[in-house]
Every structure is written in structure tokens, then in C-alpha cells.
Amino acid sequence: MTLNGLSVFYGENLAVRDVSFGVAANRITAIIGPSGCGKSTVLRSLNRMNDLIDGCRVIGDVAYRGIDIYAPDVEAVEVRRRIGMVFQRPTPFPKSIYQNVVYGLKLAGIHDARDDRVEHALRQAALWDEVSGRLDSSALGLSGGQQQRLCIARALAVEPDVLLMDEPCSALDPIATARIEDLMAELSERLTIVIVTHNLAQAARASHDTAFLTTEVDDHGNRTGVLVEVAPTDRLFAHPIDERTEQYITGRFG
Amino acid sequence: MTDTALLPKPSTQPGFGPVLEPSQRTDVRAKTVSAGRRRTDKVATIALWCAVLAAVVPLGAVITVLVAKGFGVVNWHFLTSDIPSVTGQTTAACRDITPAFRAKYGINCSPPAPGMGPAIVGTLISTGLAAALAIPIGILGAVYCNEIGVRTRLASAIRFFADVMIGVPSIVMGMFIYTAWVVRFGTNGRSAFAAALALACLMLPIVLRSAEEMLRLVPDELRHANLALGGRPSQGVIRVVLPAALPGLISGSLLAVARAAGETAPVLFTIGVTLSLNTSPFGENTTLAQQIFSGAKSGLPLANQLAWGAAFTLVAIVFGLSALARFVASRSSKVQKG
């Protein structure tokens, strides 16, 4: 995926200005930056989840396999079917575990081998062993970490090409976090992952590439997110080019 | 202070600091709470208990009287038989004839046994039809207001008029259906269906507003999750939002049904009157609420018995419906919560 001159407005307020970077296929790209710098806004514009916010306007383009997803002839629902998303807080539907995973398949009208697909998705999300005996019990009875892995399984069941993760571990304990990071490494063999995180160690551990965003404040006190630096994660953390990146990752700012 | 003598000696174990004596600032025992705060707590507790009593005592009194006067009347015959005429003519005629004459010609001069079958059937038909009309329309309206046209003018107009309709006296709904429906068909216009129309007008805004509140309680995250999985908003409403709100939708709808079942005013104009069974939604019919009204104002002993019996039956029906709805709601939420 390629972001080219992406700016996002909320009403009159410019939330993110002129962000351009590429997301390499089959790699994990982390987006880091201080609170309010527009990390999530950028992420949500990658599968048009911003469409849901009143007064949100997007300028520039986001190319997915050569097609601008904001072009007028693009169907947002189809975009989201291929570019899945996992949210900050686990959002299991108040249904059984099985019904949660099979949900996307039902939407997509996929009828064949549903049970196999559900099992495969749950195995991919490293949840199968814990829930295989109780697929019919409610998803809300799972722990927070299990719920988040269920949400990942649910997103994987429709076999997306790209998976967007918006601080997927911020509500989880270190053990659950480690499991999800392992999972991402495995999944990146088959799909592209973009993860927003405020945990620098996580970005350093779990991602291949890192984009650093920060906030600029103009004369009127309006805060706007801008892209500072994109680089392979090792390089960005070892030898940041921009002074602001260095300050942020060494903990002197943000 | 004698209390401090009971405290353990300051510890020298690693990891435990010395035990400090409670000072005025750190003593957390109840006796340290100021008299004023304790008094406020007492007063508030007593006031709350008084409020509970004030709510429970009248409720208990109503139920006690209802059971005492109504329960004895209700039996299988009462529930299934036609409503007896209570004009008192039979007893007047019987006064002038001897028991022998009665026996010879088989004239039955014992007062007729109370029956309420037609009114039970009429109540079920009119309330059932009203529910079938008002609940789907009300829930669909709520879906429009909360899911599809959230900030549109139409949605706020619907909300506004629903609020106005909630405030309209029920007798006005009866008058409205009387002029809009009943008079067009002359006396044939009076029917359980006409009563159902009036009751549906009464139920619709209650269903709509309560359903909207229930839909609002469904977190947006679930709607977003549906979209992130490639779902259309409409699919999210049908597959996620409505199932998640189901227990609340059921209890809101039931509240409206219970309200409609007990309404008398809109039924008076629109249903006509009958003392015999009519299982059709058309043709004159009667309801329990209407029979309570006519039985209570008549003053004759049999009529009073009928009224108490009808009241007891009505409360039992509403109670049964509530219990059923609670059961259904708790089962569906059990599937959701695990």
C-alpha cells in the first residue's frame, strides 16, 4: 500500500498533514508517535473507517495494489473486506465464539467448509486449543487477551490481504501481548500488517518497518500530525536521522 | 490510649516497615467518623426505607384486595363462559312465582354464574393485534432514528412527534380511531380490530422511544467491528445491533403491551359491546378493562363480582406476559453473556 500526500480533516481542523509512505507487502509496519499525533487517523484512513466519522475529509490518495481506495468508483465495503482491522479494545460480538468467527464468512456469502475455515482462523490466532471444546459458549466469557485473539481470528477468517491493528495490546497484560506479537510474526508470512502502537519496545520488537509521526502546533494552537521519518525498524531505532525521532525514542519527548 | 495496646509490636522483619500507631488522620475505624456525617447517613437510610415502604405498601394493598375479591370468582366456568346479563329482570320475575311452579316448568331462578370468556378473548385479540401493528413499526422507526438517519431532520421530527404522542390522553386516540375508522362503517365499524388500531396508536410511541434507548446502549465498537469485517451498515443492524439489543427491545415492547391491555378509554368507543364469544377481529367485541368499567359502575352484586373477577384475570394475564418476556429475555442474554 502507498500513502501519497494524505491529509485528513475533521471538520475545519487539519488532523494529519501530507503523509506519504509505503507499506511493504508481507511485512509488519509500525506507526509510532506521541498521543494525538494522528497515528490512528492514518491507520483508519487505510481501510476507509474514517468514512464513519462525521465531517471527516480525506485529501491525497491511498493506493492499494495500484488502486486509489478513495476513488469515486471504489466500494468502501469491498476495501474493508480485503483490509481487515483489529481495534484497541477487544470487540467481540455478544454471540458464541463460533458465531463470532463465522460472521465475516456469512457477510461474504461463503458457505463451503465453514467449520474448517473457523478452525483454521482460530488456529492462526493461537486460540484453537483454548476454545475448541466450547465454540458454542459466549465470546464475552473469554479473558481480555482471548477476546482480542478472537477478534484477530474473526478478521483472519475472511482471509484479508492486509490487517490493520490499532494498539491491539494496550488493554492486555504482558503475557497476552507477547502471544499477539508472536502471532503477528507468523501472520506476516502470509499478509501485510500495519500496527499502531504507543509502546516503543513493541514497535522495536515486533515490526520490520517503522513510521514516526509527531504533532506540530501552529500559531492558533491547532495540533496537526505530520510524518517525520520512515525506515526499517532496526535502522530507525539505531540511527534515527531526524532529531525529533531521536528525542522521542530516547524518551526525551512525548 | 487502650486501643493501641492491642496492636502488634512494631515489626523488624525485612520487607515490613514499623507498624505506626493510628493517628487522627490515619485511623479508619467507624468511630472516627464525625457525628454529623453519621447522622446524615442514618437520616438518609431511614428516608430511603420510608420511600421503599411508600412504594411497596400501596402495591401490596392493591394485590391483597384484588386477590381477596377476585380470586374466589375466578374458576374454569368464569374463564370460559359468556358474560351473564346483569339487568336484574330475572330475579324480579322469580319473586312472583312459587318454587313449585319453577320446578314444574324448569325455570332457573338462581342468579346466573359469573363468566368472562368473551372479554378475555377480546382482550387477547385486540391487544395482540395492536402489538402486531405497533411493535414492528416502532422498532423499525427506532432503527431509522438511531442507525440510518441519526442526525436527519426526519429522525428528529419522528422523535418529537413520538414524544407528543406519548403525552396524548388515551381517550383522544379512541376518538381519533372512532372518527377515522369506526364511523365510516356505521355500527359495523366497532370491532376488536378498531380497538387494536386505537391501542396501537397508544403503543407505537412507547415502543419507538424505548427501542431507540435500547439501540443507543449498543456500543459503537460493535458497529465498527461489523464494518471492519466487510459488512454493510444494514448487515450490522440485522446481525449485530438488533440481537444485542433484543432483551431490552422485548421488555420495552412488553411495557407497551401491558399498558394497552389495561386501557379502557380508547376501547370504549371502538369495540362496541357483546356478552357472547366473538373470536373474529371484526364484529363487536369486549375487553376485560371494559367489563371492569361497566361492572364497577353498575353496583349490582353480580356486576361487582364480574368486575373483580375481570380485574384479577387482567392482572394475571399481564403478570404472565411479563414473566414470559423476562424468561425469553434472560435466555437470549444468557446466550450473549455466557
Quick: pLDDT tens for B69-120.
988 888 888 888 888 876 555 555 666 677 777 777 766 666 677 788 899 9
Q: What is the separation of C-alpha A108 from the centre of its chain, rounded to a whole number of angstroms?
A: 21
Does residue A141 form part of some domain?
Answer: no
pLDDT at B274: 83
Does residue A113 form part of some domain?
Answer: no
**A217 touches B: beta carbon within 8 Å:** no
- Residue showing cell 506479537: A181
pLDDT at B211: 95
The percent of residues in chain B predicted with pLDDT above 70, rounded, is: 86
**A178 touches B: beta carbon within 8 Å:** no
pLDDT at B334: 59
**B179 touches A: beta carbon within 8 Å:** no
Inter-chain contact A87–B335, Cβ cutoff 8 Å?
A: no
Inter-chain contact A49–B337, Cβ cutoff 8 Å?
A: no
pLDDT at B338: 44
Inter-chain contact B336–A106, Cβ cutoff 8 Å?
A: no
pLDDT at B16: 67
Residue A215 makes CB contacts below 8 A (sequence gap 6+) with A33, A34, A36, A37, A38, A223, A224, A225, A226
User: Which residues of A fall within a CB distance of 8 Å from B335?
Assistant: 95-96, 138
Does residue A41 form part of some domain?
Answer: yes
**CB-closest option in B222, B227, B338 to A80:** B227
User: Which residues of A fall within a CB distance of 8 Å from B222?
Assistant: 91, 93-94
pLDDT at A234: 92
User: Which residues of A fall within a CB distance of 8 Å from B235?
Assistant: 107
Does residue A187 form part of some domain?
Answer: yes
User: Which residues of B fall within a CB distance of 8 Å from A106?
Assistant: 239
- Residue showing cell 438488533: B242
Inter-chain contact A140–B336, Cβ cutoff 8 Å?
A: yes
Query: What H or E segment, with its residue span, contains residue B75?
Result: none
* Per-residue DSSP letter, B153: H
Domain B119-282+316-337: CATH superfamily, name plus number: MetI-like (1.10.3720.10)
CA distance A131 to A136: 9
Per-residue H/E/C for B1-51: CCHHHHCCCCCCCCCCCCCCCCCCCCCCCHHHCCHHHHHHHHHHHHHHHHH
| Site from A40, A43, A82, A103 to mutate, B interface, most B CB atoms within 10 angstroms | A103
Does residue A168 form part of some domain?
Answer: yes
pLDDT tens digits, A113-158: 899 999 999 998 889 999 999 999 999 999 988 999 999 999 999 9
Range from A1-5, A61-65, A125-129, B103-107 carrying the lowest mean pLDDT: B103-107
Q: Which of A57, A69, A72, A60 is nearest to A1 (CA)?
A: A69
Does residue A27 surpass a pLDDT of 90? yes
CATH of the domain at A182: 3.40.50.300
What is the mean pLDDT of the segment spanning A193-220? 91
The total number of structural domains that make up chain A:
1
Nearest chain A alpha carbon to B225 = A91
Predicted ipTM of the assembly? 0.87
Does residue A203 surpass a pLDDT of 50? yes
Specify which residues A223 forms β-bridges with. A217
Inter-chain contact B229–A103, Cβ cutoff 8 Å?
A: yes
CA distance B133 to B129: 6
CA distance A94 to A218: 44
Does residue A218 form part of some domain?
Answer: yes
Which cell numbers hold the place of B206?
412507547
Q: How is chain B split into domains, by residue range?
A: 119-282+316-337
**A80 touches B: beta carbon within 8 Å:** yes
pLDDT at A254: 46
**Residues 241-270 in B contacting A (C-alpha not used; CB under 8 Å):** 243-244
Inter-chain contact A107–B230, Cβ cutoff 8 Å?
A: yes
With a cut of 50, which residues of chain B have pLDDT below it?
1, 338
User: Which residues of B fall within a CB distance of 8 Å from A141?
Assistant: 337-338
**CB-closest option in B221, B230, B338 to A138:** B338
pLDDT tens digits, B313-331: 999 998 888 888 888 777 7
Q: A50 lies in which domain range?
A: 2-89+163-249
Nearest chain A alpha carbon to B242 = A94
